[in-house]
Every structure is written in structure tokens, then in C-alpha cells.
Amino acid sequence: MTSFGISLLLVAGAQAAAECAADALGTSRVLAVDPAAFPRVGRKQFAATLALDRREVVLTFDDGPWPGTTAKILDALRAECVRATFFVLGRNALAHPDILRRELSEGHTVAHHTWSHPLLSRIGASAAEAEIDRGIAAVDGVLYGKRESQPVTPFFRFPGFASSPALLDYLARRRIVVFGADLWASDWNPMSPDAELRLVLRRLEQARGGIVLFHDTKRQTAAMLPALLRALKARGFRVVHVVPVNPAGSR
């Protein structure tokens, strides 16, 4: 990321911090991710992950934006001065543009998750590439009024982690970082917020931190998140905000 971009993030963070409680969890640092150094991250899928220290956590949310649940998640993050990354669907971006714009305006990273959530390894290469491109165009059109081949934020997550060697190479050629996860909340399974909280904390302690996958479309996750953020603070975990090292259109 350029010095100009980092300055903007620091200013936004300082302004938000003034609105948070003195004992808020906060965001401990900003990590600029270079696709040349980290083309694929997340040990659930790949050999490497981000350069995180022990007990550092990257919070990520898939499949939104979605009415009700995404707003509650944004409220919880804002209350604790925490920045996250949202891997959004293009069709939901067009259906709920105000929620998408709120994610960006509150300092979160808005990344990509296809247009409509197909399992890309199960469809043809041209159809898969079109799904990726249509999703990028929808998100960047809403947020920046531009529909160029290179996304402003070159971060992508495969729906269902259903990648293929050809698609991974395709994204690498475009210098788009592919995010897997180091652990997940398993929130696609029905469970109570308390059960999800216990599950996530147990996995975080076992992994000693990492990239965590949630879904901002899930009511149980939205209900659980405030307690999780407080528990992270109490247990000495620190939140890291990931951003592109050199976003498209930066100065």
C-alpha cells in the first residue's frame, strides 16, 4: 500500500477510536498483503498463510452484504474499533449497495467472492472466470463507479474453497491474492450463538490465531460476535486488518 493509503487508514482509525470505549479491543495493526509474496494464504487450503504473530487474528466474513445480519456485525465491529475483511457476492452488492458502502466507509476491506456463489471447480473455466469477473465488476461499480478488469482490492475467496489449479494460476497472473482460512466458525451448521462462541474460541486457542472465516449472512454469528470480541480482548488476542499492498487506482 502507498504511504498515502496507509495515512488514510490511520486517520480513519484514529477518528473511529475516539468513538469507542476506553477498553475496546481495537485493531492492533494494518498488514499490507503483496500478491507477489503471498499469492495464496490460509493453511486449511494452502501451504502458507499470512505473516501473523502468535495470537493475532484476521476476521473475515463471506457471502454478504445481507439485510439485518451484516448491519449487526458492523455495529459490533464499530463498537470495538475492529476492522475486518468482507468477501462479498456481486449480486448481493447490487441488491444492498448501502450496506456495502457502509462496510467501506467504516474502514473495512471489501473483497470478492464471485457473482452468485457457484462452486467454481465444478463448472467450465470460461464460466468460472466470468463469475469472478462479474462479481468484481458489481462490487467495484457500486463502491468506485468503475468496472475494470483489475479489482481495486485484489483479494478473492473461492466459494466453498472449490478452487482448481487452472483458476489459481489465472488469479495469480492477475495478481489477485486468494484467501483460504486458518480456521473457521462452521457457522453454516445450525448452532446457538453460545455454541459457536465456544467452538471458535477453542479453535483459536488450538491454532494460536490466524485467518478466521465467518459468514455475515448468519444470524447466530451476528448474535455471537459482540461476546467473541470481548473474549478476544480478555484472552490477549490482537486483531490485524489486511489491506492490499498497492490497491488499483492508489496514488
User: What per-residue confidence (pLDDT) applies to 247?
Assistant: 64
Does some domain include residue 83? yes
105 falls within a domain:
yes
Residue 178 lies in a domain: yes
Question: What value does the CA radius of gyration of the chain take, rounded to a whole number of Å?
Answer: 17
In the predicted model, is pLDDT for residue 242 greater than 60? yes
Tell me the C-alpha distance between 139 and 147, whole Å: 9
Residue 170: give the domain boundaries: 3-244
Q: What pLDDT, on the 0 to 100 scale, is given for residue 244?
A: 96
Q: Is residue 158 part of a domain?
A: yes
168 in a structural domain: yes
Taking alpha carbons only, the member of 69, 92, 83 closest to residue 222 is 69
The pLDDT tens digits of the residues spanning 116-152 come to 999 999 999 999 999 999 999 999 999 999 877 789 9
Strands 209-215 and 177-179: unpaired
* Contact assessment for residue 230 and residue 24, using Cβ atoms and an 8 Å cutoff: no
Q: Is residue 220 part of a domain?
A: yes
Closest C-alpha to 49, from 209, 205, 185: 209
Cα–Cα distances in angstroms (integers) from residue 148 to residues 75, 134, 245, 249, in the given order? 31, 10, 19, 11
Tell me the sheet residues that pair with 61: 86, 214
Instruction: Compute the CA torsion angle 156, 16, 231, 65 (nearest 10 deg).
Output: -40
Average pLDDT on 203-229 reads 98
Q: Cell numbers at residue 206, please?
A: 488450538
- Domain membership of residue 155 (yes or no) is yes
* pLDDT higher than 70, residue 36: yes
Summarised one tens digit per residue, pLDDT across range 40-84 is 999 999 999 999 999 999 999 999 999 999 999 999 999 999 999
**CATH number for 119:** 3.20.20.370
What distances in angstroms separate CA 149 from CA 53, 153, 184, 245, one per listed residue?
34, 12, 30, 18
User: Which pLDDT tens digit goes with each residue over 195-212?
Assistant: 999 999 999 999 999 999
Q: Could you tell me if residue 228 is inside a domain?
A: yes
- Number of domains the chain contains: 1
Per-residue pLDDT averaged across 4-17, rounded? 44
DSSP state of 34: P
